[in-house]
Chain A
Amino acid sequence: MKICVLVKAVPDPAAPKRIDPATGRLDRTGETNLNGYDANALETALQLREGGVLAIDEIVAVTMGPAAAAKALQKAAALGADRSLHLIDDALAGSDLIATAYALAQVLEREAPDLVLLGQQSEDGTGYALGAAVADHLQMPSLTQVVSLQVDGGELVLERQTGYGYDTIRVALPAVISVSDAINVPRYPSLKAIMGAKRKPVQELSLADAGIDPARVGADGSCVTCGEFHAPAAKAAGQIIEADDTDVTVTEIVAYLQERKVI
């Protein structure tokens, strides 16, 4: 069986974020790191392999992005991915969610994986969405918010969190599963693994290599255009009240909350 893990290099959450004035997009030239949720996805793949119930032959890390995106693949390799695919092409710059999902799906289709894993959200962008879009292209079932994953009779039995509690769901492979950070605690790579990662193959793919239609990717191929930014409406300064008489204060608080329609 083959597992493909979609990984993303995201700007380090600690680094200050800014818009590049030239392009109107998030300035991604600073430090990047493997998206934490993707580390959970990799850990899931590794545990499936180690669990022995499914015979996993290969774990392949896949990413799309400029040169800096390779950092995510290095970390994935250090954590245990056997090889990596880096979809890299200038024409991809500015791709929105749907364009990105289409491009990744083309790469995945050629790999014909039995299971696609990814983190359900990224620290710098949208959540719970990419897996669903990729799955539709691949015509596979998709589930997100997955907090636990087991194998039973060749099917996956997983639990996911909804707004109303936890659901248990069975799904047959192949499938696209987006995991939550609650699913496991990612391991730290050993020093040997980190150094050995350099030896694991990384294949770079261009649009042509992956069979991607240029008209469907990049800033021009994206259906969502965002270029305007503005500061949020300045918040009105808050009211401060001194609680000299707590009974009176409490009445004031309740009145305030009722006025704001919170109660």
Chain B
Amino acid sequence: MPSDILVYVLEHEGTPSKSSLGVLAQAAELAAELGGQADALLLGGEEATDELCALLGAYGAARVLRSHGPLGLAQPVVDALDAAIDRCGYRYVILGGGLLGPEIGAGLGARRSAGVTVETTAITARDGELVAERPIFGETQISESRFRGELGIIVGRAGAFEARPATTPGAAEVVELDVPLRPYSTRAQVVKRDEQRGAELNIESAEVLVAGGRGLGDPESFKLCEDLAVAFGDGAAVAATRAVVDAGWYPYAAQVGQTGKTVAPKLYLAAGISGAVQHRVGMQGSGTIVAVNKDAGAPIFDFCDLGVVGDVKQILPKLTVAVAAAKGA
């Protein structure tokens, strides 16, 4: 029996999130392997336009189920997915990462008594079913999960699935979906959305982190990290090691490590950081690790992807210019 997959696509002001597109693309491939199709579900206001639906076809959606409901809440999405499963019978529901994904996935799991995996970094099709993988124990082991029952719900880790258009685009046939909302789904009301608080981007959701350590030499040199982060554009932020936070060079909110935040951005650029294990455990899951340090014996060179032995104060400013140029091009 073919297995169809439903992917919830989070859209924000008309733009689908990268995580959603990433899992959609992955779902389209997996569905093909399972002999089924991947559909997308949108829940929104006027932003769920026909153009947006068509775009989802480029990422592999066979159909786009379009529904309407309050934005910014997880429970209406659960209701929508629930209704979609009743109507079309999906074997799997996949959600991108991002902060609502696990809520929606878990709420749906409770609704339908189905298994849910979160922080999934890879999904494979084996023997006619999907297997979800996630790292555990600080990235040192990968755990594999399978699903019993009629429905499996997979929530991806943010940034783990690359948003690339499907090799075979989907038809993206739009289907209007009526969603009876549960009374408790609307007892929460969003009063204000997307309030920006200062310039800080939560480092845990940044795609690029430029992290500074004692090797920067002085607190003023953190400006070099900030400039480089700006060059990388939106989604880039500055992080710091415990040593420099202790010394007062940078705020605690930016601290990465055993006693700070754990991050896994696509790019972690470590400037003047030695790479002691207390720091490493906070960032070793990063996609690409680039280290710049003038000490060739620094432990960070043992686990980075690209290590540059050199003077951060010289390299960072030039790199800032070069990155800005490459992005502008």
Per the bound structure, the CA–CA distance linking A246 and B111 in Å amounts to 58
**Of the residues A130, A216, A243, A263, contact of B113 by C-beta under 8 Å:** A216
Q: Does A106 contact B (CB under 8 A)?
A: no
In chain A between 8 and 58, which residues have their CB closer than 8 angstroms to a CB of chain B?
17, 19
A136 and B111 contacting across the interface, CB-CB below 8 Å: yes
The minimal Cβ–Cβ distance linking B321 to chain A, given in whole angstroms, is: 8
Q: Does B114 contact A (CB under 8 A)?
A: yes
Residues of A within 8 A of B326 (CB): 254, 257-258, 263
A171 and B187 contacting across the interface, CB-CB below 8 Å: yes
Size of the chain A interface, CB-CB below 8 angstroms? 75
Q: Does A226 contact B (CB under 8 A)?
A: yes
A232 and B193 contacting across the interface, CB-CB below 8 Å: no
Q: A165-B197, A225-B148 are in contact. Are A250 and B319 (CB under 8 A)?
A: yes
Q: Size range of the interface on B?
A: 35 or more
Per the bound structure, the CA–CA distance linking A171 and B68 in Å amounts to 21
A163 and B305 contacting across the interface, CB-CB below 8 Å: no
Q: A253-B319, A254-B326 are in contact. Are A163 and B189 (CB under 8 A)?
A: no
Q: A224-B117, A262-B266 are in contact. Are A167 and B143 (CB under 8 A)?
A: no
Per the bound structure, the CA–CA distance linking A135 and B74 in Å amounts to 11
The minimal Cβ–Cβ distance linking A26 to chain B, given in whole angstroms, is: 8
B106 and A165 contacting across the interface, CB-CB below 8 Å: no
B305 and A168 contacting across the interface, CB-CB below 8 Å: no
Residues of A within 8 A of B183 (CB): 139
Q: Does B49 contact A (CB under 8 A)?
A: no
B195 and A163 contacting across the interface, CB-CB below 8 Å: no
In chain B between 85 and 132, which residues have their CB closer than 8 angstroms to a CB of chain A?
98-100, 102-107, 109-111, 113-119
Per the bound structure, the CA–CA distance linking A110 and B292 in Å amounts to 58
Residues of B within 8 A of A153 (CB): none
1/0 per residue, CB under 8 A from A, across B63-84: the answer is: 0000000001111001000000
Per the bound structure, the CA–CA distance linking A231 and B138 in Å amounts to 12
Among the stretches A63-71, A77-85, A121-129, A201-209, the one at the interface with B is A121-129
Q: Does A101 contact B (CB under 8 A)?
A: yes
Residues of B within 8 A of A249 (CB): 308, 310, 315
1/0 per residue, CB under 8 A from B, across A168-193: the answer is: 11111001000000000000000000
Main secondary structure of the interface of B (DSSP, over half): mixed
Residues of B within 8 A of A256 (CB): 290, 306
Q: Which residue of B lies closest to A261 (CB)?
A: B162
A144 and B103 contacting across the interface, CB-CB below 8 Å: yes
Q: Which residue of B lies closest to A172 (CB)?
A: B187
The minimal Cβ–Cβ distance linking A244 to chain B, given in whole angstroms, is: 8
In chain B between 263 and 297, which residues have their CB closer than 8 angstroms to a CB of chain A?
266-267, 287-290, 292, 296
By CB atoms of chain B within 10 A, which of A101, A102, A224, A236 has the most? A224
The minimal Cβ–Cβ distance linking A233 to chain B, given in whole angstroms, is: 9
Q: Does B56 contact A (CB under 8 A)?
A: no
Residues of B within 8 A of A224 (CB): 115-117, 145-148, 152
A171 and B118 contacting across the interface, CB-CB below 8 Å: no
A241 and B306 contacting across the interface, CB-CB below 8 Å: yes
Residues of A within 8 A of B195 (CB): 165-168
Q: Does A154 contact B (CB under 8 A)?
A: no
In chain A between 124 and 154, which residues have their CB closer than 8 angstroms to a CB of chain B?
126-137, 139-145
**Of the residues B75, B141, B304, contact of A141 by C-beta under 8 Å:** B75
Q: A239-B307, A241-B309, A250-B315 are in contact. Are A98 and B114 (CB under 8 A)?
A: yes
Q: A231-B142, A243-B308 are in contact. Are A238 and B303 (CB under 8 A)?
A: yes
Q: Does B135 contact A (CB under 8 A)?
A: yes
Nearest 8 pairs between A and B by C-beta?
A: A243-B310, A223-B115, A224-B115, A129-B106, A136-B110, A165-B194, A133-B110, A168-B192
A-B contact pairs, 19 of them (CB 8 A): A97-B116, A101-B106, A101-B110, A129-B116, A131-B103, A133-B106, A135-B110, A141-B188, A144-B99, A163-B99, A166-B195, A168-B190, A225-B147, A231-B141, A243-B310, A243-B315, A250-B322, A254-B322, A263-B232
